[in-house]
Amino acid sequence: MNIVVAMKQIPDLQQVRIRNRQPVLDGVPMTFGSIDKNALETALQLKEAAGGNVIVISAGTEELEDTVKEALAAGADEAYLVLDDELENIESSVSAHLLAELIKQIENIGIILFGEGSGDNYSGQVGPRIAEILGLPEVGYVCDIELEDSRVKVTRSLEDCEEIVRVNLPAVLTIMADINEPRIPSVTQILKAGKKPKQILEVEDIGLDLKGDKKIITLSSLAPENKRKQITVKNGEELVDALLTEGVIRR
């Protein structure tokens, strides 16, 4: 059984600085989203329990060929990639179609894993979109997985309750960040990463028009401004009075 993990290349957010309300991305190295790493760890644990191959799929700029070594070093067996420098900041619908094409190249798929949201955008759309394209069942926000032959028993964590669901395979699952702690790749694995098999596709191979398929436009993207009253109070009583007057608390 092949376990597919979709991962998104994003700038290392801890290194992004804000200048004049604009994010500065120059020189910020690329990495994978942190929840994507939980999804990969889930795949590795499933493989350890039940065998199979872990295949990473991703679409991104040419740098991705290097970035994917992170996933291969962490233990993925293989990578299927779409590389193109035009693939920066593509919207969810485009990512979904590119990744779905990659998935179609892979045989004998059991589970397709996503993080519950990407590290930068966190919209959580691509997993459900791909499930729709491929006509597969999908369960989101999974915090526990149990394999059962041709099915899987998963726990979906909702805001107020947990739901235990049995679903037929193949299925798409999106993973919660707290399901596991991703392993630190060993140096031996890191040095083997470059030698693992990689399938690379071009956008043309997929026949998708990146420019023509825009469904979202971004009007502005700025760091938020902060306008606050900045009133200094002297003691607890004065503070409570001020809050009562403002109407945010009641005695």
Partner 1 sequence: MAGIMIYSDKDELSFELLSAANLISGHTGLPINAVCINNSEQAQGLAARGAETYLINNEAINLADSKGMASALESAAIQLDANIILLSSNRRGKELSGRLAEKLAAGCLTDVGSIKVNRDKIECMRNSLGGAVLAAQMITSDYKIIAVESRVFEEMAVGKEGPINNLKIEAQPAELEVLEERAKVGDTANIESANILVAVGQGLKSENDMLIIKELAEALGAEIACSKPVATDKKWLPEERIIGLSGKKCKPDLAVILGISGQVQFTVGIRDARTIVAVNTDENALIMQMADYIMVADLHDLVPEMTRALLV
Partner 2 sequence: MEFKLSKEQELIQKTAKEYAEKAIEPLVNQIEDENRVPDEVIEGLRELGLLCLPVEEKYGGAGAGFEGFVVGLEQLARVSGGVGIFVSVVMLGTSTIAVHGTEEQKEKYLTGTCKGSWIPSVAMTEPDGADPRMLKTTAKKDGDHFILNGTKRFITNTNFAGPMVVFAKDADTGRINGYIVDKFCEGYSISEPWDKLGSKGAFLSDVYLKDVKVPVSNMLGTPDEGFQTLKVTMAMGKIGLSAIYLGNILAAYDEAFNYSKDRIYLGKPISQFESVRNSIVDIAMKYEAAKLMTYRIGYLADNTANKAKLVKDSAMTKIFVTETAVDVSRIAMNVFGSYGLMKDYKMSRIYRDAIVGPQIEGTANLLKTVVATDMYK
For position 187 contacting partner 2 by CB under 8 A, the verdict is yes
- Phi, psi (deg, nearest 5) at residue 130: -65, -40
Among partner 2, partner 1, none, the one that 246 touches (CB under a kind-dependent 5 to 8 A) is: partner 1
**Per-residue DSSP letter, 246:** H
Sites for partner 1 among residues 97-136 (CB under 8 A): 119-129, 131-133, 136
Among partner 1, partner 2, none, the one that 178 touches (CB under a kind-dependent 5 to 8 A) is: partner 1
Sites for partner 1 among residues 137-156 (CB under 8 A): 137-141, 153, 156
Tell me the C-alpha to C-alpha distance, in Å, between residue 59 and each of 16, 121, 198.
Answer: 22, 15, 13
- Phi, psi (deg, nearest 5) at residue 74: -75, -10
85 neighbors 108 (Cβ within 8 angstroms): no
**Per-residue DSSP letter, 228:** -
Which residue number, 47 or 69, has a Cβ lying nearer to partner 2? Answer: 69
Per-residue string for binding with partner 1, 6-45, x by CB under 8 A?
-----x-x--x-x--xxx----------------------
Sites for partner 2 among residues 191-220 (CB under 8 A): 191, 193-194
Closest CA to 169 of 126, 137, 134, 133: 137
Q: In whole angstroms, what separates CA 140 from the centre of its chain?
A: 12
Per-residue string for binding with partner 1, 189-208, x by CB under 8 A?
--------------------
Q: Which range touches partner 1 (CB under 8 A), out of 1-9, 56-64, 187-195, 242-250?
A: 242-250
> What is the Cα–Cα distance from 9 to 31, expressed in whole angstroms?
6
By CB under 8 A, name the one of 188, 220, 226, 232 that touches partner 2.
188
> What is the Cα–Cα distance from 238 to 202, expressed in whole angstroms?
65
> What is the Cα–Cα distance from 53 to 197, expressed in whole angstroms?
12
For position 185 contacting partner 2 by CB under 8 A, the verdict is yes
User: In the complex, which residues of this chain contact partner 2 (CB under 8 A)?
Assistant: 29, 66-67, 69-70, 73, 184-188, 190-191, 193-194
